[in-house]
Amino acid sequence: MTKQQYQFTWRSDGKFALLIDGEQIFSAMLKAIQSAQSHVLLEIYLVESGVVIDQFIDALCKAASRIPVYVLFDDFGARKLKSQDRDRLRDSGVKLLFFNPVRYGRWLKNLRRDHRKLLSIDDQLAFVGGMGLSDIFDPETSGSKSWHEAAVEIRGGCVADWRRLFAKNWQRASGSPLSIPKSDSIAAGEQAGRVTVGYGAFRSEVQRSLVAHIHGADRRVWLATAYFIPSWKVRRALRHATRRGIDVRLLLPGPDCDHPAVRQAGRRFYFRLLRSGVRIFEYQIRFSHQKLFLCDDWVSIGSCNIDRWNLRWSLEANQEVKDLAFSDSVRSALENDFSLSREYLFEQWTQRPWYRRLREWFWGRVDIWLERRALR
């Protein structure tokens, strides 16, 4: 059988830093925009008018007065971005585009979304994660209800790969190539990294790599995702890992989430996973929006959830890292999250009330119906 290839190769000159929650993520991103010397590339799914976007618009407009600034927002994800905010960006010289504008009569084509989250600065620095430019990610604005998030700060050769990914999407959206000169990336360290992409359930490098690393794990498989409707390949890999004695844990949203129906649809998979030995934790403090995968010393972090819907319809991309120090920082962060979660045991799960089972069954049937309709 021919070995499936990945768009980008592993690089060994990287330096990666884990960022947790909007306070760390946004401050680092804004500082990078303010210090940019060559160009700024920004690609984000969720964008909403408010305090956070005001800060970013101010920084982007100032940057555009001295260097090229390219901004690509998903049209559906930016539906709550006010027209005056769009005008501020354009009037300042920011090159602003919206991916796949939603139009009447395009039906399933409207479901194709750009779910990636990327900020690239000067071909030397990049930020990737699950964040959106919305007040809901900002602890200062939303307080204790701010969404729990993770991102990675990237230096080294992988930054050039993220630029290539942005350039391809920019050309797809605009019809014109990205017209800024390339700079040579500078080796920043000795940590290994690779960019993985996804578009279409059968073409997702992110899922393929995840399944391969679950099968190859020796000690642990810890996965955090905001939306959990896994493919049969992922479910099978998780069950097989527990049979090998691997510590398999899932960190999933608790009652505080933005799509309760998706949560209920995903909970129908708990029974078999718990019975096989998978440990399932639901985060209780606030909505956990992270997309963070840890298998031994391999980490994947970015925009991709363990969710068939995202895998089928959305452009996704994750940063992979193979490094003991970085994986230790991720392990520590997840251990803290587990301590703030409710763990479900198999015996408890089998005794849950009938009406909770009914909700799971109902939304599970809705999920199956939507999946079948989408395949027609």
Give CATH superfamily name and number for 11-189. Endonuclease Chain A (3.30.870.10)
Q: Which residues, other chains included, contact 238 with Cβ-Cβ below 8 Å and sequence gap of 6+?
A: 214, 221, 230, 248, 250, 273, 276, 278
Reported as a pLDDT band with limits 50, 70 and 90, residue 4 is: low
Query: What is the C-alpha to C-alpha distance for residues 147 and 143, in angstroms, rounded to an integer?
Result: 9
Instruction: Please name which of 227, 230, 217, 190 lies closest in space to residue 299, comparing C-alpha atoms.
Output: 217
What is the pLDDT of the chain when averaged over all its residues? Answer: 93
- Residue whose entry in the numeric block shows the structure tokens 């199956």: 368
Q: Which pair of tokens denotes residue 350? A: 């089998």
The answer to whether the CB of 286 falls within 8 A of the CB of 139 is no
Please report the pLDDT score of residue 373 as a whole number.
Answer: 63
**Mean pLDDT to the nearest integer, 330-339:** 98
The yes/no answer on whether domain 194-375 falls in CATH 3.30.870.10 is: yes
- Residue whose entry in the numeric block shows the structure tokens 């409207």: 110
**Mean pLDDT to the nearest integer, 249-271:** 94
Beta bridge partners of 252: 282
Reported as a pLDDT band with limits 50, 70 and 90, residue 365 is: confident
**Mean pLDDT to the nearest integer, 319-344:** 98
Does pLDDT of 221 surpass 90? Answer: yes
Please report the pLDDT score of residue 345 as a whole number.
Answer: 95
Please report the pLDDT score of residue 49 as a whole number.
Answer: 98
The answer to whether the CB of 306 falls within 8 A of the CB of 198 is no
47: helix, coil or strand? strand
Per-residue pLDDT reduced to its tens digit, 222-258 = 999 999 999 999 999 999 999 999 999 999 999 999 9
> pTM score, two decimals?
0.94
Per-residue pLDDT reduced to its tens digit, 299-308 = 999 999 998 7
Beta bridge partners of 280: 250, 344
CATH 3.30.870.10, the chain: domain bounds = 11-189, 194-375
Report CA-CA distances (Å) from 235 to 19, 214, 267. Answer: 28, 10, 13
